[in-house]
Structure 1
Amino acid sequence: MGSEIEELKKTVAQLQKEVTRLSDQEEVRKLQYKYGYYLDKCLYKEVVDLYADHPDTCVEFLGGRYNGKDGVGRLYIGRFAQAFVNGRNGPVHGFLLDHPQIQGIVDINAEGTRAKGRFRSMMAAGTHESVKDTHPRGLVQWWEGGIYENEYIKQDGVWKIFRLKYFPFWHAEFGKGWSHTKPNYVPFMSKTYPEDPQGPNELCENPMLWPDTRVVPFHYEHPVTGKQVADDDLKAPEYGKDPNTSTPALVLSKPKSVA
């Protein structure tokens, strides 16, 4: 009887651990989805509040890295709010900026304190013709697609965004489509803070934008082979050319601290 009880205790402990892991996965997935809903409506203060208060917290966007909670605020409450909604927190009439968060794959570490997630966004954005003379973007419609490879951290029992890394795969004007996207459609970050008051703390190496089709590295191993994708297979050479002719494979940045 004693051995059976011990086995039952072990089984219960294992099940409790698995339930906690699955619960954490769902909380992280919900966190990312909520990020998208806030971002849709330019609720930038709410977006910033989703981020961890940690020295290694960051956002990587268009070749720039915004470091710490201050940097995160400078991007959303500074750069985005000023560009899209004249500095307010919330939407403005006639401006669309939808960021659906889809295909979420979340993995929790063994300690239950950190997580990694890969998500896709397919954005629709633009202005209504009724505001073309009052909104600084004028009359515009565009599509955007990109991949997130993010990290999350649990602080005081609450999951927060730790390091958000967004790689926009493509942009396209609504009418012409992605085959006719102009080069440098959205310019990469070129100046850092404080030279650019709304700029990143540092610039990232080898940023990508359509028609660059390099693979954003996967945080997870192949579920059957247990292997990572080879570096050469992450590259995107021109058709028929050797991978060595391609821009170097993308590399995901890592936090400096393990705490």
Structure 2
Amino acid sequence: MASEMDELKKTVALLQREVTRLSDQEEVRKLQYKYGYYLDKCLYKEVADLYSDHPDTCVEFLGGRYNGKDGVKRLYIGRFANSFVKGRNGPVHGFLLDHPQIQGIVDITPDGTRAKGRFRSMMAAGTHESIKDTHPRGLVQWWEGGLYENEYIKEDGVWKIFRLKYFPFWHATFEKGWSYTKPNYIPFLSTTYPEDPLGPSELCDNPMLWPDTRVVPFHYEHPVTGEQVADDDLRAPEFGKDASTSTPALVLSKPKSDA
């Protein structure tokens, strides 16, 4: 009887851990989806509040890394708000910036305090013709596709964004599509803070934009083989050429505290 009770207790404990893990996965997935909904409507204060206060918190975007909560605010409440909505928190009439968050794959660490997630975004953006003379973007409309490889942290029982790494893969105008997009359609960030008051804390190595098609490394191993994709297979050489002729494979940054 005692043996059966011990086995039952073990089973219950395993089930409790599994329920917690699944609940954490869903909470992280919801966190990322909520991030997208706030970002859609230029609610940049709400976006910044989703981030951890951990000193290794960061956002990586267009070849720049914004470090710490101050860096997060400098990007969203500073650069984005000034560029898109003239400094306000919230949308402006006639400006579209939708960021659907899709294909979410979330993995929780064994201790239940950290998580990693891979998501895709397919953005539709632009201005209505009625504001072409009043919005600094003029009359414009474009598509954007990108990938996130993010890290999350659980603080005082609440999941927060820890390190958001967004790789905008491609941009395309409605008129010509992606086949005619100019290389580096959106210029990479090149000047750091404080020289640029709204600039990143540091620059990232080997940034990429379409037609560069390198693979953003996966945070997870192959579900059948248990292996990671080989570095050379993450590269994108020209058709028929050896991988060694390509730009080096992308490498995901790690928190300094984990080094």
Could you say which TM-score interval applies, normalised by the shorter chain?
over 0.9
- Structure-2 residue corresponding to 1:240: 240
Letter in structure 1 aligned against 2:257: S
Partners of 1:3 and 1:184 in 2: how far apart? 66
- Structure-2 residue corresponding to 1:75: 75
- Structure-1 residue corresponding to 2:199: 199
Partners of 1:183 and 1:31 in 2: how far apart? 33
* Shift in Å, 1:258: 4.0
The 5 A counterparts of 1:139-178 are 139-178=139-178
Query: What SS does the corresponding residue of 1:32 show, helix, strand or coil?
Result: helix
* Shift in Å, 1:103: 0.1
Letter in structure 2 aligned against 1:77: I
Unaligned runs of 5+ in 2: none
Partners of 2:34 and 2:175 in 1: how far apart? 30
Letter in structure 2 aligned against 1:21: R
Query: What SS does the corresponding residue of 2:256 show, helix, strand or coil?
Result: coil
Please report the RMSD computed on the Cα atoms of aligned residues, expressed in angstroms. Answer: 0.8
* Shift in Å, 1:106: 0.1
The farther-off stretch of 216-225 and 249-258 is 249-258
Q: Give the fraction of aligned pairs with identical amino acids, expressed as a percent.
A: 88
- Structure-1 residue corresponding to 2:120: 120
Partners of 1:152 and 1:179 in 2: how far apart? 35
The 5 A counterparts of 1:11-90 are 11-90=11-90
* Shift in Å, 1:183: 2.2
Partners of 2:213 and 2:77 in 1: how far apart? 30
Partners of 1:182 and 1:229 in 2: how far apart? 30
Q: What per-residue deviation string (whole Å, max 9, x for no partner) do you get for residues 157-197 of structure 1? A: 00000000000110011111000001221000000000000
Query: What SS does the corresponding residue of 1:257 show, helix, strand or coil?
Result: helix
Aligned length: 259
Partners of 1:183 and 1:81 in 2: how far apart? 26
Partners of 2:250 and 2:258 in 1: how far apart? 22
Q: What per-residue deviation string (whole Å, max 9, x for no partner) do you get for residues 24-62 of structure 1? A: 000000000000000000000000000000100000000
Partners of 1:131 and 1:55 in 2: how far apart? 40
